[in-house]
């Protein structure tokens, strides 16, 4: 490709809207342009990087035995109504009606659609296992799009679905996908970790997320350097130290604590540590009211609580509901005297003595509260987020936490969707049995952005060769110099002939401009044809290295061949 033919609008200045490094660089290097909040157009260089990634994904999917197809992006409501997700997705789903007022949506994910196709077309155990995938645009009306294409409302996803006879078959399919995902992200040059994850709204029995550690990550990864354990903090179990306080139980005191509603206010008012306070959170679990108790400095883990209760919806009670339940304003809820609701106590709280709780009376707290003596727990379990100071659940070494960005997610769905949609096969005995399903996703736009996030410097993107839109840039320093121009042409043609994607920067720009752009767009190898063109000597610079090397042009071609074609 000649730069004069390419549509490559680079920017010297950073648009004010961009926050993360990858977002800034994708805009500056002319990979993307924004059309609306969370909606981006891909320009040639961005599209080319995406296609490189698609090719890698296709190779690894095909190698894992998956077959590509393409479902519609616009989907009638019925399959989602059958699975219950027409409601579950809520406002996150882009919905529309056709001229006959029938409900449709822009597909946010396609479990139901794949299940629907498979149930109609696959009847016998002989056709299983079956693994299907597509690379397709998804639509989710995100609450807050962020960081360019990292959290966007329209994005490209590779989604794969496996259908097996039984759990053992699913385990095999899942493992194949796990291995394929590792290969894909390795080929992208990414440093990543596979972490245990909660299955969340998808349902199912097991799941792992592929994460990269990143400052702009919206998840928290708990990991252990000693044994290699890694999990999403939603999933990581908190191991009790087993140390029960042996302090004597003191007598209960009800104390006036005017307007002391937050943990911060109450601890400063009482001059105590948040570790001596227990907060009582009132939740609606489906239609039931529950109270969840965790230590004052801890965060309740809704995923754990939801799984524990087996409910489909879990949300904080409204202030009105809290008042109805506790007869007190928000901030003064406590477990003592609460009736007709389930009290769930975090493991850690059951080891505490003489703690502080709200008194279910506005402006009052109880001091010296003790479990069993003053109130009873209906359930005692691990319901808090893991935190610094906790230990690895496998080897009990200290746990570390880091923000993480999710680029892939694999699920063992089990029969959640196949049962809901009646997707069954007939076994050897003529019995109808629900297929056992898995679901596997990779966000392509996000993966591209993540590669840039992990691989850039102050001058621009540093593409790994496997993803680079162009692998080599040939830069004639002076377009007015015929020796330079003709040698550059020669190298350009030779490199193309051996299958290298090369950009000939034939713009009549000053050398500095061409160098800046070549670095900004992240081309892995730059060949500058300059003053020594008459002696057939060129300068070769690897984007990852700081120094350039002079060599004969044949040697430069050889260098590219070895580096790029292996």
Q: Report, in Å, the least distance between residue 331 CB and RNA.
A: 3
Which residues between 525 and 544 bind RNA (CB under 7 A)? 528-532, 538-539, 541
Q: Report, in Å, the least distance between residue 289 CB and RNA.
A: 11
Please report whether residue 517 would count as binding RNA according to CB under 7 A: yes
Instruction: Decide whether 360 or 418 has the Cβ nearer to RNA.
Output: 360
Say how far apart CA 399 and CA 393 lie, in whole Å: 9
Beta bridge partners of 533: none
Please report whether residue 57 would count as binding RNA according to CB under 7 A: no
Say how far apart CA 497 and CA 488 lie, in whole Å: 14
The one among 42, 80, 147, 425 contacting RNA by CB under 7 A: 147
Please report whether residue 17 would count as binding RNA according to CB under 7 A: yes
Q: Report, in Å, the least distance between residue 398 CB and RNA.
A: 22
The one among 144, 243, 339, 372 contacting RNA by CB under 7 A: 144
Say how far apart CA 244 and CA 496 lie, in whole Å: 72
Please report whether residue 10 would count as binding RNA according to CB under 7 A: yes
The one among 53, 105, 193, 322 contacting RNA by CB under 7 A: 322
Burial 149-168 (b: 16+ CB within 10 A, else e): bbbbbbbbbbbbbbbbeeee
Q: Report, in Å, the least distance between residue 533 CB and RNA.
A: 7
Say how far apart CA 398 and CA 386 lie, in whole Å: 11
Q: Say if CB 56 and CB 448 are below 8 A apart.
A: no
- β 154-164/436-443 pair status: antiparallel
Instruction: Decide whether 330 or 420 has the Cβ nearer to RNA.
Output: 330
Which residues between 290 and 319 bind RNA (CB under 7 A)? 296, 298-300, 302, 316-317, 319
Please report whether residue 11 would count as binding RNA according to CB under 7 A: yes
Count the helices and strands in the chain (H runs, E runs). 15, 31
Please report whether residue 510 would count as binding RNA according to CB under 7 A: yes
Q: Say if CB 325 and CB 290 are below 8 A apart.
A: no
Stretch that binds RNA, among 156-164, 325-333, 394-402, 553-561 (CB under 7 A): 325-333
Please report whether residue 409 would count as binding RNA according to CB under 7 A: no
Say how far apart CA 245 and CA 354 lie, in whole Å: 9
Q: Report, in Å, the least distance between residue 60 CB and RNA.
A: 32
Q: Report, in Å, the least distance between residue 244 CB and RNA.
A: 24
- Per-residue x/- mask for RNA, residues 255 to 294, rule CB under 7 A? ------xxxx-x------------x-xxx-----------
Beta bridge partners of 366: 254, 357
The DSSP line for 56-69 is HHHHHHHHTT-EE-
Nearest 5°: phi and psi at 163? -125, 120
Closest of 373, 323, 370, 327 to residue 349, by C-alpha: 370
Please report whether residue 562 would count as binding RNA according to CB under 7 A: no
Q: Report, in Å, the least distance between residue 381 CB and RNA.
A: 16
Question: Applying CB under 7 A, what is the total number of residues that bind RNA?
Answer: 69
The beta-strand segments (E) located in 317-461 are 342-346, 355-358, 364-369, 379-381, 400-414, 424-426, 432-434, 436-443, 456-457, 460-461
Task: Tell me which residues touch RNA (CB under 7 A).
Answer: 10-17, 19, 28, 34, 36-38, 143-147, 261-264, 266, 279, 281-283, 296, 298-300, 302, 316-317, 319, 322, 330-333, 358, 385, 459, 477-481, 508-513, 515-517, 519-520, 528-532, 538-539, 541, 548
């Amino acid at each position: 490709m000649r730069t004069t033919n390419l549509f490559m609008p680079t920017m010297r200045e950073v648009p004010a809207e961009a926050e993360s490094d990858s977002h800034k660089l994708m805009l500056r290097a002319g990979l993307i342009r924004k059309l609306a909040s969370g909606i981006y157009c891909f320009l040639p260089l961005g599209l080319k990087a995406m296609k490189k990634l698609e090719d890698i994904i296709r190779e690894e999917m095909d190698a894992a035995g998956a077959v590509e197809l393409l479902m519609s992006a616009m989907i009638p409501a019925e399959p989602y109504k059958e699975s219950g997700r027409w409601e579950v997705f809520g406002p996150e789903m882009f919905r529309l009606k056709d001229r006959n007022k029938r409900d449709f949506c822009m597909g946010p994910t396609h479990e139901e659609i794949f299940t629907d196709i498979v149930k109609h077309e696959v009847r016998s155990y002989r056709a299983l296992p079956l693994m299907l995938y597509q690379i397709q645009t998804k639509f989710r009306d995100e609450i807050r799009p962020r960081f360019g294409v990292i959290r966007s409302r329209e994005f490209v996803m590779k989604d794969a679905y496996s259908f097996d006879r039984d759990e053992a078959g699913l385990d095999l399919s899942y493992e194949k996908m796990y291995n394929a995902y590792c290969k894909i992200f390795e080929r992208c040059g990414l440093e990543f970790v596979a972490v245990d994850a909660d299955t969340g709204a998808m349902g199912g029995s097991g799941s792992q997320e592929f994460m990269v550690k990143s400052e702009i990550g919206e998840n928290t990864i708990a990991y252990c350097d000693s044994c290699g354990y890694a999990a999403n903090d939603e999933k990581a179990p908190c191991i009790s130290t087993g140390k029960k306080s042996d302090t004597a139980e003191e007598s209960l005191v009800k104390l006036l604590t005017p307007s002391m509603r937050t943990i911060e206010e109450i601890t400063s008012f009482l001059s105590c540590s948040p570790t001596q306070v227990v907060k009582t959170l009132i939740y609606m679990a489906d239609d039931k009211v529950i109270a969840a108790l965790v230590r004052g400095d801890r965060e309740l883990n809704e995923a754990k609580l939801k799984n524990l209760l087996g409910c489909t919806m879990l949300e904080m009670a409204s202030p009105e509901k809290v008042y109805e339940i506790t007869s007190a304003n928000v901030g003064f809820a406590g477990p003592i005297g609460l009736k007709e609701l389930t009290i769930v106590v975090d493991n850690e709280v059951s080891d505490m003595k003489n703690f502080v709780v709200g008194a279910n009376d506005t402006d009052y707290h109880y001091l010296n509260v003790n479990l069993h003596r003053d109130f009873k727990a209906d359930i005692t379990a691990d319901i808090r987020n893991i935190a610094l100071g906790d230990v690895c659940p496998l080897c009990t070494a200290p746990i570390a936490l880091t923000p993480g960005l999710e680029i892939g997610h694999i699920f063992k769905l089990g029969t959640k969707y196949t049962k809901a949609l009646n997707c069954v096969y007939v076994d050897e005995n003529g019995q109808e049995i629900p297929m056992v399903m898995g679901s596997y996703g990779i966000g392509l736009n996000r993966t591209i952005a993540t590669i840039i996030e992990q691989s850039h410097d102050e001058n621009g993107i540093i593409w790994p060769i496997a993803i680079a839109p162009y692998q080599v840039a040939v830069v004639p320093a002076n377009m007015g110099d015929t020796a330079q121009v003709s040698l550059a042409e020669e190298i350009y043609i030779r490199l193309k002939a051996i299958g290298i994607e090369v950009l000939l920067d034939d713009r009549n720009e000053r050398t500095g401009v061409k160098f800046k752009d070549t670095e900004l767009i992240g081309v892995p190898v730059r060949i500058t044809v300059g003053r020594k063109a008459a002696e057939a000597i060129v300068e070769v610079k690897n984007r990852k290295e700081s120094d350039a090397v002079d060599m004969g042009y044949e040697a430069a071609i050889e260098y590219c061949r070895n580096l790029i074609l292996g």
